[in-house]
Structure 1
Amino acid sequence: MHPSKSLAVALAAVVMAATTACGSAATDATTASVANGAGGVLNLSAKQDRIVPAADPTVAAEVPEAIRKRGTIVIAQGAGAGDPPFAFPASDDDSVFIGDEIDISQLIAGVLGLKLQSVNTSWEGLFLGIDSGRYDLGVSNITVTEARKDKYDFATYRKDNLAVEVPAASTLTFTGPESFDGKTVAVGSGTNQEKILQQYDTDLKAKGHKGIDIKYYQDDTGVYAALASGQIDAYFGPNPISAFHVAQTKGTPQATKIIGSVSGAGSTLQGLIAATTKKDDGLIRAVRDALDVVIRNGDYAKVLAKWNLTSEAVPTSVINPPGLPRDNR
C-alpha cells in the first residue's frame, strides 16, 4: 500500500498550523505535539530522542561485507513532501523528517551496528534507488506483492491494514461488510481500499441489502470536513493515516475514532508491510534478524505505540511471505 500523498500533505499542514498558531515556530516537544493513542503526547519536533538499540554481533555479522566496511546503511523513504505518520517534516524544522518509518530504520541500523543514513525521495525514486544500489534498504510503508517479489526481497515489520474511521461520538460499530449496509462511506478513488469497498457493496446487494453509498472527494481535507459535518458515516482508508488523524484530533470538536480494521489485501490474505532490498543482494536476512531482535526486546513495540500503530504489530519478521496477488491493483 502507498497512502494518498494529498492526504499526507493535508495532515502535515494541519500539524504545522496547530503548532505555530501563536505566531512562532514550536521549539520543543511540549509545543510541537499532539496526543497519541496511548494517552501520551506525540512529539512532532525535530528532537525525537529515537531509540538506538545496542548492536547484536551475531546479526551484524550477517551484513554483506561492503556495507560492514562502509559502516553506514542507507535507508530510504519515498515520502515526497511528507507522508504522516511514515515520514514527514518536523513541526519546528522542515529540513528534518520524522515518522515511524524513520524510527524503524533506526532500530534496524542500531542492531546491525551501523550508522543510519536516512534519505527521503519520491515514491518512484525509492525503487529506482534500490534498483541501482544507491539505497541499501527501503522502509516506506511498502506492501509485499507477488509482482514486487520478482525484483525485491522483503522482511516484514507491520500489518497492512485498512481502518474504519468515524466521528468520536458515532454509535456505528464494525464487524464486517454488513456494518456498512445502508451507510455512506468515503474512500479514495483508484485505491485498493476502493476495490474492497466496491466488492462489499456488490456482495451486499447480491444478498438483497441496500448496499453502500460510496462517496469520493476532490481532496482529502474534504473527506474529514464531510466526516465532521455528518455528510458521511465513515472513512475507509489506510489504518496508519487514520490512526495519526485520531491522535491529531483528540480532544477537539473534530475528534474521530477507529472502530475496526481489515487487511489491505482483502478477506483471504493478511497484507504485510516490509523492509525492501534489491533481490538476492544478501542483506535481507540480516534485516529480518535485526527486526526480530527489537520485536523480542520491546523496542519495536515502543515505536509502534509512539505512533499509535500498535494494532499493526507482527509477532515476528518474515522473509518474502505471500503477497498481494498479481491481479490486485
Structure 2
Amino acid sequence: MTLKNIKHTSAAWIARSLAAFALAAFTLVGGTAHAADKFDFSPEQQGRLRTGKDAEAVNAIPPNFKFVKEGVLTVAVAPFAPPISTYATDAKTVVGFEADYALLIADALGLKLDLQPIAWADWPLGLSSGKYDAVISNVGVTEQRKEKFDFSSYRLGLHGFYVKADSPIKSIKEPKDIAGLKLTTGAGTNQERILLEWNRQNAAAGLKPATIQYYDDDVTRTLAVVTRRVDANFNPNAPQAYEAAKNGQIRLVGTVNAGWPLKSDVAIATRKGSGLAVALTTATNNLIRNGSYAKTLARWSLAEEALPRSETNPPGLPKFAP
C-alpha cells in the first residue's frame, strides 16, 4: 500500500528557514565563496556562443516555406525560470539556455533571430496562426501535441534528485534507492506519479516505502533539503541544477526521465506539415557534432540534459485515459 504523508509546515519554521537560507547563500563554503555572478543575466550576453551557416540545414528548408519575416527566424519563448529562460537585468531581454540555443539555430539557418517573449498558454494558437516560425520554450513532446505540431528534440526532459551538499546519499537511480527516505515533490505532478509507483514496487518487494512531504513552491522544497527536513527533493532538474550551481547548498545524486518508464524529450515546436522540423533537426545534430550545443548547455549548468542526437517527431508521452 502506498504511503503518502502530507506534512504541513508552520509559518514560524518557514520564516526562520528563509532567513537562514538567505544568509547561507552568502556564506563561505569550503573556504571559497560561491560566486553570485556564475550566471550572466546581463542583456549584452558577452559569453554567448555563435556558429556559422549550416549548408545542410539550409538545404533542408522546403523551397515553399515562408518565414514570418524574410531573412528572420521568429521564435516564441515563455520566460519562466533560470537557467532555461528568464529576463535579463534590464527586465526585457530574454536570456538563458533557450535564448542561446535559438540564436545558434538562427545562425545555422543563416537567419537573424527575432525572439518574442510570450505567455506559455499562448504558444499553440500563436504557432498555428503563423505568428511565429517556431516555439523554443521547454515544450515536452506528447503524442497528443504531435497531432497538431511537428517537433525537433533538443533536450532531455529530466527530473532530478537533489540532496544537501554534505548528505551521505551518493546515488538515487531506481526504486530501491528511495526505500525509507523522506522526499519532497510537487503534489499532482508527473514526478509524484513516479515516486508513488516506485513506492508501490518497493512495497511489493518488501522494502520500506519513502515518506513524501509536500511543500508549496521550489523555495520551500529547497529549504526542506538544506534544513534536513527531507533527504531529497525530486522535481524538474533544470531549476535545481541552477540552484546547486549558484549556491552550492545542494547537489545532484540522480536523474529520471520525466516520462518514466518511457521518455519525454523537450523539443522545438513547428507547424504541422510545414517541413521546417527536418531543417531544425539537421541544424541541431550539426550543433551537437561541432560542440556548440554541449558548450551552451554547460554555460547554463544543464550538461545533464544533453541529447545524444536530435529527432524529428520522436516518441512522446502517450495519451492517458481520463
TM over 0.5: yes
- State the Cα distance separating 1:154 from its structure 2 match: 0.7
Task: Give the Å deviation of 1:270.
Answer: 2.7
1:191-206 matched pairs, under 5 angstroms: 191-206=189-204
C-alpha offsets along residues 53-84 of structure 1, whole Å, 9 cap, x if unaligned?
111233223334422970101111123xx321
Mapping of residues 268-283 of structure 1, within 5 Å: 269-283=262-276
What do the CA deviations read for 1:171-221 (whole angstroms, capped 9, x no partner)?
Answer: 113231111111110001121111111111122122222201111112222
Counterparts of 1:150-299 in structure 2, within 5 Å, are 150-173=147-170, 174-250=172-248, 255-267=249-261, 269-299=262-292
After TM superposition, the structure 1 = structure 2 runs for residues 97-116 of structure 1, keeping only pairs within 5 Å, are 97-116=94-113
1:163/1:262 contact within 8 Å kept: yes
1:48 aligns with 2:41: no
Give the length in aligned residue pairs.
Answer: 289
- TM-score, reference length from structure 1: 0.83
Q: Mark the runs of 5 or more structure 2 residues left unpaired by the alignment.
A: 1-21, 27-34
SS in 1 for 2:242: helix
Q: Which residue of 2 aligns with 1:25?
A: none
State which of 135, 139, 157 in structure 1 corresponds to 2:136: 139
Unmatched tracts of structure 1, length 5 or more = 1-16, 22-32, 36-40
Question: Distance between the aligned counterparts of 2:321 and 2:188, measured in 1?
Answer: 12
Q: How far apart, CA to CA, are the structure 2 residues paired with 1:156 and 1:285?
A: 11
1:10 matched to which residue of 2? none
Residue 306, structure 1, aligned to residue 299, structure 2:
yes
Q: 1:320 aligns with which of 302, 313, 321?
A: 313
Give the letter for the 1:155 counterpart: S
Aligned amino acid, residue 76 of structure 2: A
Matches for 1:4-15 after TM superposition, within 5 Å: none
* SS of match in other structure, 1:46: coil
Amino acid at match of 1:274: A
Q: TM-score, normalised by structure 2?
A: 0.84
> How far, CA to CA, are the matches of 1:190 and 1:290 in structure 2?
36
Distance of 2:94 and 2:306 partners within structure 1: 23
Indicate how the Cα distance of structure 1 residues 232 and 282 shifts in structure 2: closer, same or farther if over 3 A, else same. same
* CA shift digits 1:124-175 (9 cap, x unpaired): 1112211111111111111111111111111111111111000000011323
Residue pair 2:173, 2:256 contacting (<8 A) in 1 also: no
Q: What residue in structure 2 maps to residue 78 of structure 1? A: 78
What are the Cα deviations for residues 11-60 of structure 1, in whole angstroms up to 9, with x where unaligned? xxxxxx99xx9xxxxxxxxxxx647xxxxx32222221322211123322
Q: 1:244 is paired with a residue of what secondary structure? A: helix
TM superposition shift of 1:233: 0.6
After superposition, the CA RMSD in angstroms is 2.2
Contact 1:68 1:114 in 2 (8 A): no
Asked whether the 8 Å contact 2:161–2:253 carries over to 1, the reply is yes
